[in-house]
């Protein structure tokens, strides 16, 4: 059986206020063409179809259109991720089964597979530990215990079907061995978020979602990652999907790269260097996170930077620390400075310029008022 494993589409998400709907449409076109060209039998979408529980109308429309295009080419099995609403995503799932689109959002059905050819495909949606602990009678808290129970149910059903039936599992979890980025929502509430890869031992293939970087935890346990970059921490990620051949003698997997709407990067330096240095020429058409290291915050910094880097999205300021400040905490660095000087630095930070004489006068008056009030208390 040939599988295309994808996840974490986050339809409806933006990138630092940049609309990504056209980029997500481009990915969908690429996905459908890959399914057609590679004669894929089953598309697996391992959660986080949408970016939030109540997705925007355009995101729902895009996903509806995508399923309509895929159902004529291959079977589709998808699960809910921690960003999805299980009730909304699961609406009409019984009807969609008849069309070859199998939506699995109910934790009570994790042991009921979708049969695709000879293979049993089990969908394990994102499991919130505290929501399933009582119904499943679990003594332990946390994601490891929850997913272990889900896999116990999967194995019990698989055992009834006999050793000749290949098993495929979709799950949305943080499996030990994967590397997190800044764009995944933390799922540690309700217990430790990490789950050992050994929980999937004996499974023909485990198609994981949640982490946004493609990663082979083992040859049979893989993350596809998100199809687009959703944070600057993903600047070195290669985005795409896994094309997997599930055979009697093992698994063969090939990574299929997705189209890149615009490359992202993080650069840093003094503003004059960033604006004049030829080594930054290659960054002019990228979405950028720029960190300035000037001793003082430059005036109108973003406006000046966007003349050269029109797609700069995030600006940070980290003035270079001297040798004397190395290793010192913020409280240690300001201990010998007056309240007025520290407050003046804050004004400069938020206004792109030093505090005026009038502003320093107001600050001085405010500090004196606080001292008098404290003395009378």
CA distance 345 to 330: 13
For 107-135, what is each residue's pLDDT tens digit? 999 999 999 999 999 999 999 998 999 99
Q: What is the mean pLDDT of residues 283-306?
A: 95
Express as a percent the part of the chain with pLDDT over 70.
Answer: 88
Q: pLDDT tens digit string along 205-262?
A: 999 999 999 999 999 999 999 999 999 999 999 999 999 999 888 899 999 999 999 9
Q: What is the mean pLDDT of residues 190-197?
A: 69
Nearest to 43 by CA among 103, 127, 130: 103
Q: Is the pTM of this model over 0.95?
A: no
What CATH number matches the domain at 2-257, 3.40.1160.10, 3.60.21.10, 3.90.79.10, 3.40.50.300? 3.60.21.10
Kindly give, in sequence order, each residue whose CB lies less than 8 Å from that of residue 160, ignoring residues fewer than 6 positions away. none
Ordered alpha helix ranges (H), the chain = 21-37, 57-70, 86-89, 93-97, 129-136, 143-161, 271-276, 301-308, 330-334, 339-351, 357-376
Handedness of CA 159, 117, 69, 35 (dihedral sign): positive
If pLDDT is split at 50, 70 and 90, which confidence band does 190 have?
A: very low
Distance of alpha carbon 319 from alpha carbon 256, whole angstroms: 41
Output the pLDDT for position 131.
92
* Torsion sign, CA atoms 138, 142, 145, 149: positive
Q: Give the domain ranges of the chain.
A: 2-257, 264-376
List, for residues 324-334, the tens digit of each pLDDT value.
444 555 566 56
Of 116, 88, 94, residue with least CA distance to 11: 88
Cβ atoms of 74 and 43 within 8 Å: the answer is yes
Phi/psi of residue 114, each to 5°?
Answer: -95, 125
Q: What is the pLDDT of residue 322?
A: 42
Determine the angle formed by the axes of helices 57-70 and 21-37, rounding to 10 degrees: 10
Answer for the pair 5, 244: CB distance below 8 angstroms, yes or no: yes
Instruction: Report the pLDDT averaged over residues 159-171.
Output: 94
Residue 346 neighbours by CB distance under 10 Å = 11
**92-110: string of b/e by CB count within 10 Å (b at 16+)?**
ebeebeeebbbbbbebeeb
Which are the contacts of 359, defined by CB distance < 8 A and separation ≥ 6? 344, 347
Task: Convert the pLDDT of each residue in 93-107 to its tens digit.
Answer: 999 999 999 999 999
* pLDDT reading at 310 higher than 80: yes
Q: How far is CA 210 from CA 3, 145, 188, 264, in A?
A: 19, 18, 13, 21
Closest C-alpha to 345, from 314, 319, 316, 372: 319
374: Cα within 13 Å, side-chain hemisphere? 6
Greatest CA span in the chain, whole angstroms?
84
Whole-number Å distance between alpha carbons of 225 and 104: 20
């Amino acid at each position: 059986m040939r599988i295309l494993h994808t996840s974490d589409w986050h339809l409806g998400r933006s990138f630092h206020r940049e609309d990504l709907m056209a980029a997500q449409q481009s990915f969908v076109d690429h996905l459908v063409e890959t399914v057609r060209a590679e004669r894929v039998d089953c598309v697996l979408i391992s959660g986080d179809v949408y970016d939030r529980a109540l997705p925007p109308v355009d995101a729902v429309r895009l996903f509806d259109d995508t399923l309509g295009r895929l159902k004529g080419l291959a079977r589709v099995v998808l699960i809910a991720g921690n960003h999805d609403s299980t009730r909304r995503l699961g609406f009409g799932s019984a009807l969609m089964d008849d069309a070859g689109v199998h939506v699995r959002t109910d934790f009570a059905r994790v042991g009921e597979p979708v049969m695709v050819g000879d293979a049993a495909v089990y969908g394990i949606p994102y499991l919130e530990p505290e929501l399933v602990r009582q119904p499943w009678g679990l003594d332990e808290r946390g994601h490891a215990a929850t997913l272990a129970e889900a896999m116990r149910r999967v194995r019990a059903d698989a055992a009834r079907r006999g050793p000749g039936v290949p098993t495929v599992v979709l799950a949305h979890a943080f499996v030990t061995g994967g590397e997190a980025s800044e764009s995944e929502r933390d799922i540690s509430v309700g217990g430790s978020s990490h789950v050992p890869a050994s929980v999937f031992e004996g499974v023909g293939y485990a198609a994981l979602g949640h982490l946004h970087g493609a990663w082979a935890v083992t040859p049979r346990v893989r993350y596809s990652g998100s199809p687009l970059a959703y944070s600057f921490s993903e600047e070195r990620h290669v985005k795409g999907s896994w094309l997997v051949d599930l055979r009697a003698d093992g698994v063969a997997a090939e990574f299929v790269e997705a189209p890149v709407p615009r490359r992202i990067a993080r650069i840093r330096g003094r503003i004059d260097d960033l604006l004049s240095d030829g080594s930054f020429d290659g960054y002019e058409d990228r979405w950028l996170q720029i960190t300035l290291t000037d001793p003082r915050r430059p005036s109108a910094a973003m406006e000046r930077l966007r003349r050269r880097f029109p797609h700069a999205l995030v600006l940070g300021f980290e003035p270079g620390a001297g040798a004397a400040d190395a290793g010192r905490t913020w409280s240690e660095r300001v201990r010998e400075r007056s309240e007025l000087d520290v407050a003046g630095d804050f004004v400069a930070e938020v206004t792109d310029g030093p505090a005026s004489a009038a502003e320093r006068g107001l600050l001085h008056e405010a500090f004196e008022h606080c001292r008098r009030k404290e003395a009378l208390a």
